[in-house]
Amino acid sequence: MDIQSQNVTVAQLLSVDQAAAALGVRPATIRKWLFVRKIVAVRLSGKCVRIPTGEVARLIAAHTIPAVPVGYVPKGRRGR
């Protein structure tokens, strides 16, 4: 995701704590992901970092497990 090519407003930016709460992880996890560049962020100054809401939505979508169809039986469990 390229932040420069998007129209992101301040209202669409989350603090590290807010992003962590939205994703159900600790703020330290968000900071680690920022360090290894797993997520996109906006550095406003020094240590002040904000995460776009779209980035949080991207992470949720990328790690969402689809529902299992009704009547689905995993391989290896048939006939038991």
Task: Report, in angstroms and rounded to the nearest whole number, the Rg of the chain calculated over CA atoms.
Answer: 18
CA distance 55 to 57: 5
**Quick one: CATH architecture of 8-62?**
Orthogonal Bundle (1.10)
pLDDT at 32: 97
Q: Is the pLDDT of residue 1 over 50?
A: no
Query: What would the DSSP string read from start to end of 11-39?
Result: GGEE-HHHHHHHHTS-HHHHHHHHHTTSS
pLDDT at 79: 57
Q: How many CA atoms lie within 13 A of 28 on its CB side?
A: 0
pLDDT tens-digit series, residues 8-42: 666 799 999 999 999 999 999 999 999 999 999 99
